[in-house]
Structure 1
Amino acid sequence: MLGWAVVFFIIAIIAAVFGFGGIAAGAAGIAKILFFIFIVLFVIALVVNLAKGRGPKL
C-alpha cells in the first residue's frame, strides 16, 4: 500500500510539472489517503503483535 502511495505521489509531481493541476491534486489526494491508511494499519498490526507478545524486545 505504501508503494501505491509513492506511485500516486510521483504521478502528482509529474502532472504538476506539466501543468495539469487537477490531475496533480487528485493524485496527491489519493496518495495522502493511501499513506494514512497505511499508517493506521501499521499501528494496528504493531499493537496486535505487542499484545500477543511477538513484538520486538525492548
Structure 2
Amino acid sequence: MLVIENGRIVEDGDPARLAAAPSRYAELLEAEKTARQSLWQGRHWRALRVEDGRVRDDS
C-alpha cells in the first residue's frame, strides 16, 4: 500500500500492518468508518425492500 500525501509517498507497506500501527493509513480507515457510520445512521435514510416486483417501505 502506498499512502500519498501532498504528492509525496509518506507510507509504503502491507495494508494489514499499516492498519494495525499508528499510521496515516490507519487514520484514513478510521475516518472512513466514522463517516460511514454517521451517514447510514442519519435520519435521511430509510429501509426499502423489493418484493413481488414492488418497492415496500420497511420503516
After TM superposition, the score normalised by the length of structure 2 is 0.43
The higher-RCO structure (CA 8 Å, 6+ apart) is: 1
Q: Considering only CA atoms, is the larger Rg found in Structure 1 or Structure 2?
A: 2
Structure having the larger proportion of residues in helix: 1
